[in-house]
Amino acid sequence: MRCNLIFFLMCCPCLLRAAQFSGVVRAADQLVPGATVTARNGGAKVLAFTDESGHYALDLTPGTWEIEIRMFEFAPATGKVTVGDTALVRDWVLNMPKLAERGVKPAPAAATEATTVAKTPAAPAAPGGGARGNRGMRNPDGTFAGRGGRGPAQPGFQSAAVRATPEGQAAAADTQVQTADLGAENDDAMALNGSMSGGLEQSSDDEARRQRAMGGGRGSPGGPGGGPGGPGGAVSAAQGMQNGMGLPPGMSASLTNDSLGLGGFGASAINGGFGVGAAGAGPDGGGGRGGPAGFGAGPGFGGPGGGGPGGGGGGGRGGAGGRLGQNQQGRGQGGRGRGAFNGQFASFGNRRRTTPPISGSIALTVRNSAFNAAPYSLNGQTAQKPYSANNNLNANIGGPLRIPKIVNWQRAQYTISFGGSINRNGRSMVGSVPTLAERNGDFSQAVVANQPVTIYDPLSGSPFPGNVIPEARFNSASAGLLPYFPNATYATIVQNYRFVITDPSHSRNIGVRFNAPLNNKDRLNFNFQKQNSSSNSHQLYGFLDSGTSNGLSFSTGWSHSFRPRLNNSANISISRSRNENDPFFAYTQNIAAQLGITGTSQDPINYGPPSLSFTNFSGLSDGTPNLNRNQTVTFSDSVTWVLKRKHNFTFGFTYNRLQQNSTNYQDARGSFSFSGLTTSALDAAGQPVKGTGFDFADFLLGLPQSSSVRFGSSNNYFRSWSSSAYVQDDYRVNAKLTINLGLRYEYFAPYTELRGHLASLDVSPGFTAVAVVTSGQNGPYSGSLPSSIVRHQPKDLSPRIGVAWRPFPKRNTVVRSGYSVFYSGSSYAQIASSMAAQPPFATSASLTTSLAAPLTIQDGFATSPTTLTNTYAIDPNFRIAYAQTWNLTIQHTLPHGLVLDTEYIGTKGTHLGILENPNRSISGIANGGLQISNATSFNYQTQGGDSSYNAGQLRLTRRLSRSVSANALYTFAKGIDDASTFSGTGGTLVQFLDNRHLERGLSSFDQRHNIVTGFQLSSPVGVRGLLRNGGWKTKLLRSWNLQGNFTATTGTPLTAKVSGNLANTGGLAGGGSLRAEATGLPIQLPGDAYFNTLAFTTPAAGQFGNAGRMTIPGLFRTSLNANMNRSFRFGESRRTLSFAISASNVFNHVTITGVGTTVNSSNYGLPTSASATRAVSLNTRFSF
């Protein structure tokens, strides 16, 4: 009975009343970390300490509590608060006795008592160094996700930054604990909480470059928590932008695979701050204005406003998003610094009476396959669970700079951090390999899409007897490559091979931050970070590749206050990285020479078999060797000027210099594609007949359909630079209206190569002729060309506007709206890389077999001396893409602690990159001549695509009350485009050159419905409710927290394709897949596991398929993640020990995420990928 009662009390906290009491402790304009906050109510006592941002939070039961704030060298501050059912916010100001000696007006007497009314206070903008956001859900790594309240109004300029609720919170369980009551009468100012107009300091692409060089999670200047803007850490670009405001989910900021993203903008670009970390420097570095999103959790913007000269240099908005799951976000918000930093309280350290000034923490995270579920088996066959073990250790120590008998600089702060990981990553890979009979040439049992096939002898044009190829007809090179294919592990035809392995990896990083005031007007900060890692990775067929990575960054910032309302902040940073990959076959045997394969690189680093791809089987491939050495130098400067407390002007400038030095061998071993074309029966038009031909039969005969090779001139030295300038005004018109206006100019220089080793094809109008052009040459059709070959684009202006308006002063309703324009110059890097390894500086070719000149494995790269073999061409007038995004949000505070947000978001992309293959067969015959006879097939890069995205969101949030908080977010969205890329150059070839409208369809990131919910529960014992008198029961059951989020979403759409021998219409087989033919049947029918496979078929011979892009609905997906944690405090000291257990996919409910959509492939209609199974991690942290 007693056990049942205990269980009931832990699981039903909503029956008891408790509310969160939180706020910020300051001295003048500076945040005070390490202060002791004590609450007493009769015999009950609750203790907390302020964190590095000066923030504290306690859970108190309703009633009147006595509050005492203590900090070494400060007079104690006391007061009384009356706690009700809803969350309560109160900030405190400490008095430093030394103020009078320095001639500075002291803060109000800290010991003065004050009584707070028993209701939730208003939420004014926090002009005086904005308040830290309240804590919301605690994540597994100890960070908090939640929307914070704003501090009480103080004299001075009321800062504004427009907020547009982040779109794609589709992926975010916003467990915000909002204490701001925007409708309160005593709220004399309104903040435009965080949005598209935002600031203009941070560049679009230069922020991504800086983050790429810094490396995720490493600290930047001024960031106390390890990244630009605060504890969120450096941007995890894909997370930050994908959940960024106003952007559809596909418009991610992935630095490697940006599907229609706002590219390298950085989360702050769309979310209202373009701050560069060093915009201010608070007690531990302070954040820049609105820095980028935090790790793993949507747009958790930045950290606390740092104390720059003349004022807290702008509050980095929000708490760090944690790692509870990809779908959780932290969205706290902080206000701006007020200006008037006088230097007296630059750094407090952790000077409490009972603890030393040194503070730090040690954290350990452990994951092991013993706690995890086995991977989902796509083929339904039982498989062993791969062993995995991940151990991550992080430690940091810091405080005032004090070395006995050498230096005692109390106001200077240092932080030293160390992190390391030792990982064993378990992998279970599934593929399709030839059966034993097929390896011996027997194709009597071969099927494609559940239909038998007949293979024809390319010499006689007749079927092979019994569908068996005699061993005597095997190509010698093919026979030599057969041993590299593993045998099947299952007696099936499709997905009959599994490879289970554990790959080791490890990493180490160390960081040092130093922050010190030089005098009353100047502050200096340094930041040094170093990281290295190494890993081994197995390919599907067992080839083991190794890689190493090293990164180094250094930055320094200087802030100066000319006068209380005119401040300057300058920063310079240098980042270097080195990444190297060594493939399995490098420096071993020259397999190509042994097998008689000509035309490939003979450099020992490129030894190994060629890459082989098939329509029905997993390909044979290994990694490519590469060495990349990059360096980025960035200088930025910003000036803030507060005018008449109404205007807050910001002027800024940024310059980036980029060096990317690479040694790259992209396709030095050569590649062959086998489709079944050469063993197919051909009709009168030369097109393959359906039901004939098999890809592995082509391989045994040594007859590929297409081939490609690229090597030589492997050392490339790319150079580029970018610059930007901006002006912004935060204008508080009156208590009802705030406007944010800004204009930004930025210039992205196209990449050049130090030795001029860039080459492209100059294309004539109508694509009737081409000529090779190199850097700085005059093209016969395009005229004079610059050294980058691509002409620059010098007129990129980006306006920003944001408005926040309270239409009814006495009602809890706020209307926010914003409009912005963003440019992305990141496509220039991809363009330069494609032009670098081209003739005449390298060997390059892309060939397709023909009746007149059939390709073989031994002679697959031979070209005519008069044939141009360049495989890439760029439009010299290529323009970078830009996006316009706008939003309208209505927020209303309801009774019982509820907040309702309704939002519309729109985004339009223009000049999106498009990739074409214009050199096609004139007649459409599979093996016919190409339109430009003296050139091989090549890709042509241009722009002209566009996209549109519209979304409506409805969010309901329940503030923390009675130990429970929760939220729910529903998003209804639709994206349409003809090129699902923004910062990239395009990936899918255009099928209809003469009618691009036929390429228009749903975006690859389109998700029609998305529901996200989040919750937080706390055990209702101790001072919160039951068992208040202590004892072992109270100690055992109190302070437990359970958080989680649940996501249900429709999947992203898929395209029905045709590949292999039936995809050579117009001679485009070398370009990959083309679209299938729609039969007119419904795509979805009741009872279909994934989609109706009869809705598509192969197109008629010589014709393109009429199926549209992205017409197969995506698969419905769900996920549930949870975390349970508790902290133990040792007396009244800062020493705490925290434990947490986190689980993703708690109920181990696996959903299929990918399905085969190639109609003439053996895996058509079968699952090809699934979501991850349950994974558990254990976390412990000791803080002192």
**More confident site: 1101 or 215:** 1101
Tell me the average pLDDT across 650-677.
92
536 and 583 Cβ atoms separated by less than 8 Å? no
pLDDT at 37 exceeding the cut of 70: yes
pLDDT at 1042 exceeding the cut of 80: yes
End-to-end CA distance of the chain: 40
> How do beta strands 566-582 and 1096-1097 pair?
unpaired
pLDDT of residue 983: 66
> Which residues, in sequence order, are bridge partners of residue 759?
774
Q: Supply the CATH classification number for the domain 17-119.
A: 2.60.40.10
pLDDT of residue 207: 37
How far apart are alpha carbons 481 and 860 in whole angstroms?
A: 15
Predicted confidence band of residue 492 (pLDDT cuts 50, 70, 90)? confident
pLDDT at 444 exceeding the cut of 60: yes
**More confident site: 757 or 864:** 757
Lowest mean pLDDT among 77-81, 215-219, 355-359: 215-219
120 and 146 Cβ atoms separated by less than 8 Å? no
Residues of the chain with CATH 2.60.40.10: 17-119
Burial label, 461 (beta-carbon count in 10 A; 0-12, 13-18, 19+)? exposed
How far apart are alpha carbons 750 and 984 in whole angstroms?
A: 14
Predicted confidence band of residue 173 (pLDDT cuts 50, 70, 90)? very low
Lowest mean pLDDT among 161-170, 817-826, 850-859, 1022-1031: 161-170
> Which residues, including other chains, have CB under 8 Å from residue 52's CB and lie 6 or more apart?
31, 33, 224, 225, 231, 283, 284, 304
Proportion of the chain above pLDDT 90, given as a percent: 41
pLDDT at 1061 exceeding the cut of 90: no
Predicted confidence band of residue 928 (pLDDT cuts 50, 70, 90)? low
The chain-wide mean pLDDT, for the chain, equals 76
DSSP assignment, residue 687?
P
**More confident site: 186 or 1055:** 1055
1070 and 673 Cβ atoms separated by less than 8 Å? yes
Proportion of the chain above pLDDT 70, given as a percent: 72
SS3 content of the chain, % helix, strand, coil (to 5): 10, 40, 50
**More confident site: 591 or 106:** 591
Closest CA to 13 of 1122, 1047, 1027: 1027
pLDDT at 155 exceeding the cut of 60: no
pLDDT of residue 919: 83
Predicted confidence band of residue 403 (pLDDT cuts 50, 70, 90)? confident
Q: What is the pLDDT of residues 127-154, one digit of tens each?
A: 333 333 333 333 333 333 333 333 333 3
988 and 242 Cβ atoms separated by less than 8 Å? no
> Which residues, in sequence order, are bridge partners of residue 796?
746
330 and 146 Cβ atoms separated by less than 8 Å? yes
**More confident site: 71 or 974:** 974
Lowest mean pLDDT among 216-225, 878-887, 938-947, 990-999: 216-225
Q: What is the pLDDT of residues 942-994, one digit of tens each?
A: 888 899 999 999 999 998 777 788 999 999 999 999 887 776 666 677 888 77
- Residue given tokens 């939640």 in the structure block: 146
- Residue given tokens 């407090």 in the structure block: 348
pLDDT of residue 724: 95
CB atoms within 10 A of CB 510: 15
How far apart are alpha carbons 587 and 621 in whole angstroms?
A: 17
Predicted confidence band of residue 843 (pLDDT cuts 50, 70, 90)? confident
How far apart are alpha carbons 379 and 39 in whole angstroms?
A: 59
> Which residues, including other chains, have CB under 8 Å from residue 717's CB and lie 6 or more apart?
659, 660, 661, 753, 754, 755
pTM value?
Answer: 0.73
Lowest mean pLDDT among 257-271, 396-410, 515-529, 669-683: 257-271
> Which residues, including other chains, have CB under 8 Å from residue 495's CB and lie 6 or more apart?
378, 379, 430, 431, 432, 1163, 1166
Closest CA to 317 of 75, 521, 53, 117: 53
pLDDT of residue 1066: 52
Tell me the average pLDDT across 416-425.
94
Question: Which amino acid is it at 76?
Answer: P
**More confident site: 219 or 420:** 420
Q: Which two tokens stand for residue 298?
A: 């949507």
pLDDT at 409 exceeding the cut of 70: yes
Lowest mean pLDDT among 578-582, 699-703, 712-716, 1007-1011: 712-716
- Residue given tokens 């990083």 in the structure block: 509
> Which residues, in sequence order, are bridge partners of residue 577?
551, 630
pLDDT of residue 497: 93
Lowest mean pLDDT among 797-811, 892-906, 1032-1046: 1032-1046
**More confident site: 1120 or 411:** 1120
How far apart are alpha carbons 1043 and 1078 in whole angstroms?
A: 46
pLDDT of residue 150: 36
Tell me the average pLDDT across 409-430.
92
Q: DSSP secondary structure string, 354-411?
A: TS-S-EEEEEEEEEETTTSPPPP-TTS---PPPP-EEEEEEEEEEEEEEETTTEEEEE
Q: What is the pLDDT of residues 1066-1106, one digit of tens each?
A: 555 445 568 899 999 999 888 777 999 999 988 887 788 88
How far apart are alpha carbons 567 and 585 in whole angstroms?
A: 58
pLDDT of residue 1064: 58
pLDDT at 250 exceeding the cut of 60: no
pLDDT of residue 1099: 87
**More confident site: 54 or 1029:** 54
pLDDT of residue 848: 84
Tell me the average pLDDT across 423-444.
93
pLDDT of residue 181: 31
Closest CA to 166 of 973, 808, 966, 896: 973
Predicted confidence band of residue 284 (pLDDT cuts 50, 70, 90)? very low
pLDDT of residue 631: 95
Using only C-alpha atoms, the chain has a radius of gyration, in whole angstroms, of 32
pLDDT at 195 exceeding the cut of 90: no
Q: What is the pLDDT of residues 501-531, one digit of tens each?
A: 999 999 999 999 999 999 889 999 999 999 9
pLDDT of residue 512: 95
Query: 394 to each of 509, 624, 643, how far by Cα in Å?
Result: 9, 33, 45
Predicted confidence band of residue 85 (pLDDT cuts 50, 70, 90)? low
**More confident site: 260 or 437:** 437
Query: What would the 3-class secondary structure string for 1045-1063 be?
Result: EEEEECCCCECCEECHHHC
pLDDT of residue 475: 94
